Amino acid sequence: MAIFHEKLFLSSLLIFCKIIEVYSGGPVYTPPNVERVTDRFTRVSVNQSYSVSFGSSNVRVTNNGTSVDLSLDKSSGSGLVSKNKYYYGFFNAALKLPSGFTSGVVVAYYLSNSDVFPHNHDEIDFEILGHEKRRDWVLQTNIYGNGSVKTGREEKFYLWFDPTQTFHDYSILWNNHHIVFLVDNIPVREVIHNNAIASAYPSKPMSVHTTIWDASEWATHGGKYPVNYKFAPFVASMRGIEMEGCVLNRKDVASSCSRSGLSSLDPVDGEEFAKLSSQQTTGLEWARRKHMFYSYCQDKSRYKVMPQECNAK
């Protein structure tokens, strides 16, 4: 009888777990432990770090300047741009995304110099894409140098948490060695600076941007599900701002930032930022194995000849 009750209990527990999985939008994954890179840098206020780039009526600074709400409604999206331009550095934003039906909505955290080089610019992007399912956001990463969106190198991930419930860190580490995209300090993508990708590696000073906007034309299945403004306003909140890099304030900034050693102005040029630790490598492998569902290096319909760095992997 005891064995029967034990089996009944285990069966009930399994059914309960399946129900929880269904209602939570998918399986629950616990990420591996990694170093908290965000703890190494100083947090700054909204007014210290950003200016409004567009949609000023939809920007609301909160909590004595430590956080900000960015809104999208039928009249406009909204965005912030960093007061400084940076050549290499570490950049972080803790974001909480809009809940509900968000198809066509994009929340972006990225570096770009398109204002200075409109036809030949660099970018390092986090773009978080709303979806037709109520809580299913997609994380897209992208980089390009000396090009445009047509030369992008996108990879897409499902998140292992609900990004609408609380704040999560989205971080970019960019130096002469590699570019690392991190989510809650877990590396999800590493782009190593080598000969194969040298021509497309971002190499010019960039501004930091945080935006929310209407991407109905492409964001969800090629524009199949546009933004439904019946659910507006869509509000993304940001706090946990970190920006430490080589600030573009004199002509020799690029050479100063590319040198290693004590004379460098680059805060992420040290040995500890040159390559991933064993813990970070484990986290990277976990994120890509469990959560990545698209990589440009596997898109044979887009590329008849794969980019050179794909063949080097």
CB pairs under 8 A, 24+ apart, for 178-181?
A: 178/274, 178/275, 179/124, 179/143, 180/276, 181/126, 181/141
For the segment(s) 56-311, the CATH number from 2.60.120.200, 3.30.930.10, 2.60.120.10, 3.40.640.10 is 2.60.120.200
Amino acid letter, residue 271: E
Q: What confidence score (pLDDT) does residue 106 get?
A: 95
Question: What are the backbone angles phi and psi of residue 47, rounded to the nearest 5°?
Answer: -70, -30
Positions annotated as catalytic residues are: 123, 127
Question: For the residues of 73-122, what is the DSSP string, one character each?
Answer: -SS--EEEEESS-EEEEEEEEEEEPPPS--TTEEEEEEEE-TTT-TTSEE
Q: pLDDT tens digits for 171-195? A: 999 999 999 999 999 999 999 999 9
Domain boundaries, the chain: 56-311
For the cut 50, the answer to whether the pLDDT of residue 262 exceeds it is no
What residues have CB less than 8 Å from 15, skipping those under 6 apart?
A: none
Q: Which residues contact 299 (CB under 8 A, 6 or more apart)?
A: none
Q: Is the pLDDT at 90 greater than 90, yes or no? A: yes
pTM of the model: 0.87
